[in-house]
């Protein structure tokens, strides 16, 4: 019967093209507005590392005290100072751990190109790569021994490797970053988790992909300053690199990998114990105040999702709702004008269930047409989201197969749901009355 | 075939109760051709719609083909309408967007019949009413008489055992009305039970017997049979 009802639906829609067009346009615009803003929201609020987001944690230690918290909410600083960061690394209390800070270095490309290139990267430990499941095209990261040895190694991103070596296998080659040589040990595949959960201190989470990764220890040796946030409390007098390292300035983001709830509990105890030790040692004059958040909780705490994304999604969903309410009215008018036909069909043996099927399939057909229009409008709209969002957010919006399927599914499902009341009215038409009045 | 006993139909509003049928009794045997007559508003159409399971009743008992229909759900009532009952209305009640073929096909679709069987039945039914050549025409392209014949073909296609006709010639001129009546008589001779509501005493004489409905009650019983559809069905049965 589906084919029969679909055929009836097409005939019915052709019978009154103006009314049909109104409904299709309402649904098309409604679903397109929703999908455009959803495509942005999806990009900024998704789980950037779904396989491991529950095993990756960023520890926080209150090294400033309750009077100095960021927002006066007794939350520890959002990053660690050098002392605490190195203490965590030395303790090695987790399965894997890394410290991260962003760096910016210039690179002399060599050959006939003489102007330096500005390159953005991260100083990390070797565990960074397996912890975050960084995929490699060539080579690999480095190991703990190389961390200890403060080796002059570098991993390039696929994009940066293409820029420097035309995409060829550059492992073993040497490049000069910030005036110092580094041997390339790996080239990643395209990897840019969005939001960039592992480096939210001072970053929006939506930056361009990193160009390179170099050993944290090597970066310290070369006294490469952070290119990210550096937040300090109190009267700080800094005389050079060592003074900065000893200061209370926070600038290092730590990450640890913990496989089980027991590991998490153990690590939290370790953090509290460490903090208590600092208190006993007189470095902290307050009770231990630590946090251990996983990826999703960390992103929520850091308010990664831009408020304009959430607001525009809600506004567009409201618009879609209004379109659907209009569609309910139009469908009701359309269906009830056919009360005579419904009466005839009921007399000839159609049960209410058959009437439901006929009219819901007709509504679904309207939804499908609205969805197709919505797809065109979504494709056009996605290219114009820069009018609504910051450029680094706008570039994340894109139409892919899942958005196409979602657009069609939402349009059909929403229209069918909107048609329930009109269809209920149609199915409860009193056949005898309409057969008499005809 | 159709037996109503002490049947009542009450329309209630907040302030008034209106009896459309009151203590209504009728017994139509299988193969009968019964005319139901009465003045406007007497309840004869209400009787017909209840008989056709298009409307519920308030009290009493209704046995259709031996089945008590009072407690049947919508699916069961629809199935009975589809398989056992054919309708012919005064205003034809064809679906204007469907051509003749598709109009006749409607009840067969609800029966879940296979395409080949549907096409055969549609062809046979339209040939029987003389409209096989008009399959692709739409109702608006046909005369009133032709539309009524399409409606009859639609009823015939489902091979109903009970045909309910509500003023089937009410919108037709004399010549067309005669043609429609001849068709109904032919269907009756084929073995179908026919209950026809009519104002027209002359049409009523074409039935085996008449039942008069006045103020919601069947108050008059059959006259002598005037024609016999088949030799073995000469006897008319009185209702009420």
Task: For residue range A94-123, list pLDDT tens digits in order.
Answer: 999 999 999 999 987 665 666 788 999 999
- A272 belongs to a structural domain: no
Confidence of residue A208 (pLDDT cuts 50, 70, 90): confident
Q: Which of A257, A287, A317 is the last residue of a domain?
A: A257
Q: Provide the pLDDT for residue B227.
A: 46
User: Contact B93/A344, CB-based, under 8 Å?
Assistant: yes
Number of domains in chain A: 2
- pLDDT at residue B70, as a whole number: 87
- Residue A212's nearest CA partner among A134, A276, A281, A287 is A134
Confidence (pLDDT) at B61: 92
A294 belongs to a structural domain: no
Q: Which 154-213 residues of chain B touch chain A by CB within 8 A?
A: 154, 158, 166
How high is the ipTM of this complex? Answer: 0.88
Domain hosting A119: range is 63-257
Assess whether A192 and A121 both reside in one domain: yes
Residue A262 within a domain: no
Question: Does residue A235 surpass a pLDDT of 80?
Answer: no
Residues A118 and A9 both lie in one domain: no
Confidence class for position A437, pLDDT limits 50, 70, 90: low
In a domain, A295, yes or no: no
Whether A231 and A102 share a structural domain = yes
pLDDT at B229: 44
> What is the CB-side half-sphere exposure of residue B48 using CA atoms within 13 A?
35
Cross-chain residue pair A349–B45, CB shorter than 8 Å:
no
Q: Are residues A83 and A119 in the same domain?
A: yes
Final residue belonging to a domain, choices A222, A257, A292: A257
Confidence of residue B238 (pLDDT cuts 50, 70, 90): very low
User: Taking a C-beta distance cutoff of 8 angstroms, is the pair A210, A121 a contact?
Assistant: yes
pLDDT at B4 over 60: yes
Is the pLDDT at B33 greater than 60? The verdict is: yes
Question: B97 touching A, CB under 8 A?
Answer: yes
Does residue A274 fall inside a structural domain? no
Q: Which of B74, B97, B106 sits opposite A348 (nearest CB)?
A: B106
pTM for this prediction: 0.74
pLDDT band at B159 (very low <50, low <70, confident <90, very high): confident
Residue A205 pLDDT > 60, yes or no? yes
Contact A432, B49 (CB under 8 A): yes
Q: Are A370 and A23 in contact (CB under 8 A)?
A: yes
Do A36 and A68 lie in a common domain?
Answer: no
**CB–CB contact A346 B97 (8 Å):** no
Mark yes or no for CB contact B107/A349 under 8 Å.
yes
Query: Do A350 and B110 make contact, defined as CB atoms within 8 angstroms?
Result: yes
Same domain, A35 and A146: no
Clarify whether residues A117 and A215 are in a common domain.
yes
Chain A CA closest to residue B55: A432
Q: Report yes or no on A226 lying in a domain.
A: yes
- Do A86 and A16 fall within a single domain? no
The shortest CB-CB distance from A15 to any of B81, B82, B97 is to B97
- Which residue did the predictor score with more confidence, B13 or A89? A89
Q: Is the confidence at residue B239, as pLDDT, over 60?
A: no
pLDDT of A402 over the 50 cut: yes
Residue B235: its pLDDT value, please? 39
A6 touches chain B (CB under 8 A): no
Best residue of A10, A348, A361 to probe chain B, by most B CBs closer than 10 Å = A348
- Reported as a pLDDT band with limits 50, 70 and 90, residue B178 is confident
Q: Is B102 on the interface with A (CB under 8 A)?
A: no
- pLDDT at residue B44, rounded to an integer: 85
> Which residues of chain A have a CB within 8 Å of the CB of B41?
none
Q: Residue B176 — very low, low, confident or very high, per pLDDT cuts 50/70/90?
A: confident
> What pLDDT is recorded for position A6?
93
Mean pLDDT of the region A63-67: 85
Over residues A195-204, mean pLDDT: 88
pLDDT at A117: 85
At residue B240, the pLDDT reads 33
pLDDT given for residue A5 in this prediction: 93
pLDDT computed for residue B234 by the predictor:
37
Final residue in a domain of this structure, among A197, A225, A257: A257
For residue B155, the chain A residue with the least C-alpha distance is: A348
Residue B220 has pLDDT above 60, yes or no: no
Span A288-311, mean pLDDT? 90
In a shared domain, residues A98 and A241: yes
Average pLDDT, chain A: 91
Q: For chain A, what percent of residues have pLDDT higher than 70?
A: 97
Cβ pair A351:B74 closer than 8 A: yes
Residue B77 or B178, more confident: B77
Tokens of A160: 């940066």
One domain, residues A231 and A189: yes
Residues A30 and A165 in one domain: no
Q: Is residue A71, in this structure, part of any structural domain at all?
A: yes
Question: Does the beta carbon of B25 lie under 8 angstroms from any beta carbon of chain A?
Answer: no
Cβ–Cβ below 8 Å for B93 and A430: no
Instruction: Return the higher-pLDDT residue of A386 and A12.
Output: A12
pLDDT, tens digit, 9 for 90 and up, residues A354-373: 999 999 999 999 999 999 99
The verdict on A105 and A251 lying in the same domain is yes
pLDDT of B228 > 50? The answer is no
Would A271 be classed as within a structural domain?
no
Q: Which residues of B193-212 are buried (b: 16+ CB within 10 A; e: fewer)?
A: bbbbbbebeebbebbbbbbb
Q: Are A119 and A212 in contact (CB under 8 A)?
A: yes
């Amino acid at each position: 019967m589906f084919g029969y009802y679909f055929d009836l639906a097409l005939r019915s829609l052709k019978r009154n093209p103006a009314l049909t067009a109104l409904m299709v346009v309402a649904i098309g615009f409604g679903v397109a507005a929703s999908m455009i803003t959803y495509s942005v929201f999806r990009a900024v609020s998704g789980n950037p590392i779904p396989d491991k987001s529950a095993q990756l944690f960023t520890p926080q230690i209150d090294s400033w005290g309750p009077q100095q918290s960021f927002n006066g909410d007794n939350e520890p600083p959002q990053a660690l100072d050098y002392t605490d960061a190195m203490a965590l690394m030395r303790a090695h209390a987790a399965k894997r751990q890394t410290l991260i800070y962003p760096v910016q270095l210039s690179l002399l490309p060599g050959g006939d190109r003489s102007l330096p290139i500005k390159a953005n990267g991260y100083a990390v430990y070797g565990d960074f790569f397996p912890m975050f499941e960084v995929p490699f095209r060539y080579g690999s990261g480095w190991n703990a021994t190389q961390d200890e040895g403060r080796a002059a190694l570098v991993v390039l991103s696929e994009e940066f490797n293409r820029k420097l070596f035309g995409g060829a296998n550059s492992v073993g080659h040497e490049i000069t970053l910030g005036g110092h040589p580094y041997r390339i040990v790996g080239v990643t595949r395209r990897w840019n988790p969005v939001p960039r959960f592992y480096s939210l201190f001072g970053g929006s989470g939506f930056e361009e992909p990193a160009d390179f990764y170099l050993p944290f220890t090597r970066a310290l040796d070369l006294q490469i300053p952070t290119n990210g946030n550096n937040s300090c409390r109190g009267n700080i007098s800094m005389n050079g690199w060592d003074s900065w390292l000893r200061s209370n300035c926070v600038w290092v983001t730590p990450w640890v990998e913990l496989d089980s709830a027991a590991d998490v509990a153990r690590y939290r105890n370790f953090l509290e114990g460490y903090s208590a030790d600092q208190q006993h040692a007189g470095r902290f004059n307050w009770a231990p105040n630590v946090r251990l958040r996983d990826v999703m909780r960390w992103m929520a705490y850091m308010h990664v999702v831009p408020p304009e994304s959430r607001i525009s999604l809600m506004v567009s969903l409201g618009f879609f709702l209004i379109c659907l309410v209009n569609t309910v009215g139009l469908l009701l008018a359309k269906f009830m004008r056919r009360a005579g036909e419904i009466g005839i069909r009921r007399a000839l043996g159609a049960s209410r269930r058959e009437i439901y099927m006929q009219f819901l399939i007709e509504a679904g057909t309207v939804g499908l047409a609205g969805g197709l229009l919505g797809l065109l409008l979504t494709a056009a709209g996605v290219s114009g989201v820069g009018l609504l969002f910051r450029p680094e957010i706008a570039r994340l919006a894109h139409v892919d197969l899942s958005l196409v399927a979602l657009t069609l599914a939402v349009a059909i499902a929403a229209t069918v749901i909107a048609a329930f009341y009109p269809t209920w009215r149609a199915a409860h038409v009193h056949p005898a009355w309409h057969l008499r009045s005809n | 075939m159709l037996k109503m006993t002490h049947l009542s139909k009450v329309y209630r509003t907040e302030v008034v109760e209106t009896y459309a049928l009151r203590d209504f009794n009728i017994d139509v045997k299988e193969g009968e051709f019964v005319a139901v007559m009465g003045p406007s508003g007497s309840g004869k159409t209400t009787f017909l719609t209840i008989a056709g399971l298009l409307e519920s009743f308030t009290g009493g008992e209704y046995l259709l083909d031996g089945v008590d229909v009072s407690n049947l759900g919508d699916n069961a009532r629809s199935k009975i309408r589809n398989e056992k009952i054919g309708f012919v209305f005064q205003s034809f009640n064809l679906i204007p967007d469907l051509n003749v073929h598709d109009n006749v096909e409607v009840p067969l679709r609800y029966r879940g019949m296979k395409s080949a069987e549907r096409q055969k039945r549609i062809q046979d039914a339209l040939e029987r009413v003389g409209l096989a050549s008009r399959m692709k025409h739409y109702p608006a392209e046909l005369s009133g008489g032709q539309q009524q014949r399409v409606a009859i073909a639609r009823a015939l296609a489902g091979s109903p055992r009970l045909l309910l006709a509500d003023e089937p010639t009410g919108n037709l001129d004399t010549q067309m009305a005669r043609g429609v009546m001849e068709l109904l008589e032919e269907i009756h001779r084929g073995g179908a039970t026919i209950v026809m509501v009519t104002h027209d005493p002359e049409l009523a004489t074409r039935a085996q017997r008449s039942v008069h409905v006045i103020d919601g009650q069947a108050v008059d019983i059959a006259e002598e049979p005037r024609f016999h559809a088949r030799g073995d069905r000469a006897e008319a049965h009185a209702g009420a």
